[in-house]
Amino acid sequence: MAEIARIRKGVSPCPAWNARLAEGGCLGQNGAADRRAARPMTRKYRFVIAACARWETRYAVEWLNYHRAIGFEHVYLYCNDDDPRALYETVLPFTQGPAPFVTFRSYPDQGQHRKMMLHFLAHDQHAAEWISFLDLDEFIRLPPGQSIAQFIAPLAPVADCVLFNWVFFGPNGHKTPPDRPVLESYTRREALMHPLTKYVARSTVFNDPQLLQKCLDNSFVHRLDEYLARPIRSVNVLGEDMAGYYADFPAGAAAFARHPPRQERLFATAMVHHYAFRSEQAFAERVARGLKGNFAGEKIWGQLAADEPRLRGFINSVNAIEDRRLADFWQALLAGAARTDVLAQQRGQLLSRGKPTSQSSYLADPEFLAKAASRGGAASGMIDGVRKFHTDFENNPWWQVDLGGFATIHEIHIYNTDDHTAARFRNFSLSVSIDGASWTEVARKEDDEVVGGIEGAPFVWAGPGAAWARFVRVTLLGRDYLHLDQVEVFGAMTHPGGAL
């Protein structure tokens, strides 16, 4: 604590910084050698991330946007690529302006993760109150609606370090990486909590000079207690004391984290999603990117890839459980685009999302119907081209939504599926009703042209004028199956609950 006091008074930090600086230099954004002396504590940020990236260019923007969305104020990004230009160009917008989100540094000496993170501690530790070390395949998951500051606030009085357990997400059936966001593409994870952790720690704990003397690898990005001369208060995301958690690792740590009541609470609270295997070829790629320095341990994934039975077993284990928490978070974040839509402001609110629906019949396939129901139905608000309901084969099948009250309807959007079944939806009638019994047709399409969806042109009804109704129905003309991706009804509620 005496050293902390000296730093607060503006006195130079402890001599250990000299050892850290000697661990290796780094090129800053201006290309000049970045060997500045450690600065007095400035508290420029509350929560920051120090990250190392090698072969992560295609994933960087999503990762940065996600962690900014949950409240991290700055990222110190160390590029370990042989040529940093591709990653630098990708993140360049994040480095610009009076308050940049990213400080970019190139460190081309392959695999020197420890040296990169020590460079960060030597130069930027005192700019932040709380620090986390993450890779670009790791996403901190918080309870819905909470920022990192809100999550840490109740733990801060009793904690210097908050440990977040890992959980591995698998390839999810992808042979090669899909050209879609990570959080949308990977929704299946292992069933058990992983014993290894990452953390969010007070920057002051890194003042301990013993850290560099006892930790000679990069394991300090996972744990701290055993490397420090002074005891710190470490807790997990539930606020439980974690002193000694790593004393019997991995067996003791796994038994603690996987104790049934605790594991259930951990999964319900917070963790680090580890998307280490973004495709089935990722196991070999982790070896191909290099095994120098701190990357030497990655050779185990190459050995696993060479043993097909073991590989299949491992992939099955990390694809075991469906978990859409961050996929849904990402969708909700992107849904903010609607707030920028000038036409959407004119057509009103999306009234149909989450409202009850019904249909004329149901396909005699319980497995398909269960899968469709898990996607939320055609009034879920999720437009992805997938069938969200399915009638039986019949004359003039229909689907309808109950808005839950009387509404002035300005627009109705109908999104067809984007698979081989799309050709079935060509001719239809669009009707509205105030009581679900008497219907008024507001549109009729009989041109035999297939309706588009997420990849094309959905059908849009926009008047003339507005419709006043509680129910909206889509009826397929002719004898066939009816199935759609989404039906969206826009407008304004005039009498919620249906009372006049």
What integer is the mean pLDDT of 369-380? 84
93 in a domain, yes or no? yes
Indicate whether 315 and 355 sit together in one domain: no
Indicate whether 110 and 179 sit together in one domain: yes
Indicate whether 197 and 255 sit together in one domain: yes
H or E, element range at 476: strand 467-476
Please enumerate in sequence order all residues whose Cβ is within 8 A of that of 12, keeping only pairs 6 or more positions apart, or say none.
37, 38, 40
Cβ proximity of 234 and 224 under 8 Å: yes
3-state secondary structure (DSSP) of residue 30: coil
Measure CA 484 to chain center: 27
35 in a domain, yes or no? no
CATH of the domain at 376: 2.60.120.260
The structure tokens listed for 373 are: 């129901």
Predicted pLDDT at 369: 81
What integer is the mean pLDDT of 358-382? 88
Tokens 């041109």 sit on residue? 447
**12-16, 90-94, 114-118, 198-202: range with lowest mean pLDDT:** 12-16
| pTM assigned to the model | 0.65
* HEC assignment per residue over 62-117: HHHHHHHHCCCCEEEEEECCCCCHHHHHHHHHHHCCCCCCEEEEECCCCCCHHHHH
26 in a domain, yes or no? no
Cβ proximity of 4 and 14 under 8 Å: no
Our count of domains for the chain comes to: 2
- Give the Cα separation of 381 and 336 in Å (integer): 13
Indicate whether 272 and 395 sit together in one domain: no
Predicted pLDDT at 301: 56
What integer is the mean pLDDT of 433-442? 96
1 in a domain, yes or no? no
- Give the Cα separation of 373 and 439 in Å (integer): 27
CB atoms within 10 A of CB 61: 14
How high does pLDDT run on average in the chain? 87
Buried b (16+ CB within 10 A) or exposed e, 474-493: bbbeeebbbbbbbbbbbbeb
- Please choose, from the candidates 305, 325, 322, the residue with its C-alpha nearest in 3D space to the C-alpha of residue 313: 305
18 in a domain, yes or no? no
Residues 124-153: pLDDT tens digits? 999 999 999 999 999 999 999 999 999 999
Quote the domain boundaries for residue 208. 45-334
38 in a domain, yes or no? no
Residues 9-43: pLDDT tens digits? 333 333 443 444 334 444 444 343 443 344 445 57
Q: Does 346 or 165 have the greater pLDDT score? A: 165
Which of 283, 310, 334 is at the close of a domain?
A: 334
Please enumerate in sequence order all residues whose Cβ is within 8 A of that of 173, keeping only pairs 6 or more positions apart, or say none.
319
The DSSP secondary-structure symbol of 224 reads -
Predicted pLDDT at 234: 98
The structure tokens listed for 399 are: 């689907």
Indicate whether 137 and 162 sit together in one domain: yes
Distances (CA, A) of 483 to 27, 227, 421, 424, 473: 56, 60, 8, 8, 13
CATH of the domain at 117: 3.90.550
Please enumerate in sequence order all residues whose Cβ is within 8 A of that of 353, keeping only pairs 6 or more positions apart, or say none.
379, 380, 381, 488
Which of 281, 305, 334 is at the close of a domain?
A: 334
Handedness of CA 291, 294, 300, 302 (dihedral sign): negative
The structure tokens listed for 358 are: 């019904």
Predicted pLDDT at 33: 41
Cβ proximity of 43 and 81 under 8 Å: no
Helix axes 60-69, 325-334, angle to 10 degrees: 90
How large a percentage of the chain has pLDDT more than 70? 85
Indicate whether 322 and 425 sit together in one domain: no
323 in a domain, yes or no? yes
Indicate whether 372 and 449 sit together in one domain: yes
The Cβ-side half-sphere exposure at 5, using a 13 Å CA radius, reads 2
What integer is the mean pLDDT of 226-242? 96
- Give the Cα separation of 419 and 66 in Å (integer): 30
Indicate whether 308 and 386 sit together in one domain: no
Indicate whether 369 and 322 sit together in one domain: no
Predicted pLDDT at 366: 87
Indicate whether 288 and 361 sit together in one domain: no
What integer is the mean pLDDT of 75-85? 97
- Give the Cα separation of 220 and 227 in Å (integer): 8
Indicate whether 420 and 285 sit together in one domain: no
pLDDT at 326 over 90: yes
**35-49, 170-184, 263-277, 408-422: range with lowest mean pLDDT:** 35-49
The structure tokens listed for 449 are: 């042209």
First to last CA, the chain: 68
Predicted pLDDT at 345: 63
Indicate whether 260 and 284 sit together in one domain: yes
481 in a domain, yes or no? yes
Q: Is the peptide bond before 464 cis (omega within 30 degrees of 0)?
A: yes
